[in-house]
Structure 1
């Protein structure tokens, strides 16, 4: 299986901390992956995010930045930087709730995987090889086009309590929807930033 793992250097974070991101569609083994997380298997220390709750690349990377920044400043509220990434998507301070809304579930079909290089042995090659062995799904590019096909706008608006915001469902592309989506994205980024400030 070819890897679509992307290694990203986020601005304002040390060059020694690249972020590795992969997106998978039609995942067949979500219950297995979730079980590895629950059992604390160190080989599976990833942020496993249900991609249907991710609006855009910017939305995802904002949550990653917030978590890594908290990791660097020793402000983690959860077990490690990877669980903190899932928590950082949440507009509230309820960790269990954030895992329910944004983390992998047994029924997850579209999966966003994030790994932070917190140790020298965590490289693009090692992460790509491990994910190729571990995730039974179809690699997809981590871009707005793919995410817009996956994103469940209703679910996202509910998670962020933005029910009144007018955004058309995925697949309906027109000028009005683009501006609605931008407004939604800005609201999500604001929620991530504000929760971090409290």
Structure 2
């Protein structure tokens, strides 16, 4: 099955392209997690449970922070991919960040990120490996898809944002202005938490 892998270049780090794919109805999350934990080099990705992500901006903020730390030799975890998962966490607890945001055996909707830390890692090699490694349906990396997957209550609990109102998942395509603003407020709070976490 063709992957809808997207490659993103962050303006200040053009030498480190970032490849992002999203899958739904993943059947082999336990296998992927076991390969990651075993330190298999070909499974060195940021595997993120998509239910813990609100939007593209939420993901990009964590990637930006991790790449910045990677570029300045400030990683707190094993590699740039584990650092992306860690960067989503509002606290400095690395183990907690994997429990909250990382892949679990029961993950169904999965966000996968790979950074081109070497010239061998290209859009094509990542797309080819993921299409054979992940048993799930490839979907696009966009706000609408991510919002459908997101577990708002779990996200708010992890970031201690219980006081903020929750955006609702409108059944029709037309989201109300109020709901858009509610989602924007939540997203801004998440971005702030990532940016301001103790370094």
In 2, the alpha carbon distance for the partners of 1:37 and 1:75 equals 22
Structure 2: state its 5+ residue gaps: none
What does the per-residue CA deviation read over 1:80-111, in whole Å, with 9 as the maximum and x for residues that have no partner? 00000000000000000000110000010000
Question: What is the CA distance between 1:169 and its match in structure 2?
Answer: 3.2
- Say whether 1:3 aligns with 2:21: no
Most deviating of 65-74 and 4-13: 4-13
Question: What is the CA distance between 1:171 and its match in structure 2?
Answer: 3.0
Structure 1: state its 5+ residue gaps: none
In 2, the alpha carbon distance for the partners of 1:55 and 1:157 equals 10
SS of the residue 1:127 aligns to = helix
SS of the residue 1:91 aligns to = coil
Alignment correspondent of 1:85: 84
Alignment correspondent of 1:111: 110
Alignment of 1:48-127 (within 5 A): 48-127=47-126
TM-score by length of 1: 0.97
Moved over 6 A (4+): none
What is the aligned-residue RMSD (CA, Å)?
A: 0.9
In 2, the alpha carbon distance for the partners of 1:65 and 1:95 equals 18
SS of the residue 1:142 aligns to = coil
What does the per-residue CA deviation read over 1:86-137, in whole Å, with 9 as the maximum and x for residues that have no partner? 0000000000000011000001000000000000000000000000000000
In 2, the alpha carbon distance for the partners of 1:190 and 1:118 equals 27
Q: How many residues align?
A: 196
Tell whether the 8 Å contact from 1:56 to 1:147 is kept in structure 2 after alignment. yes
TM-score by length of 2: 0.96
Alignment of 1:34-45 (within 5 A): 34-45=33-44
SS of the residue 1:84 aligns to = helix
In 2, the alpha carbon distance for the partners of 1:171 and 1:97 equals 31
Tell whether the 8 Å contact from 1:151 to 1:170 is kept in structure 2 after alignment. no
In 2, the alpha carbon distance for the partners of 1:128 and 1:147 equals 20
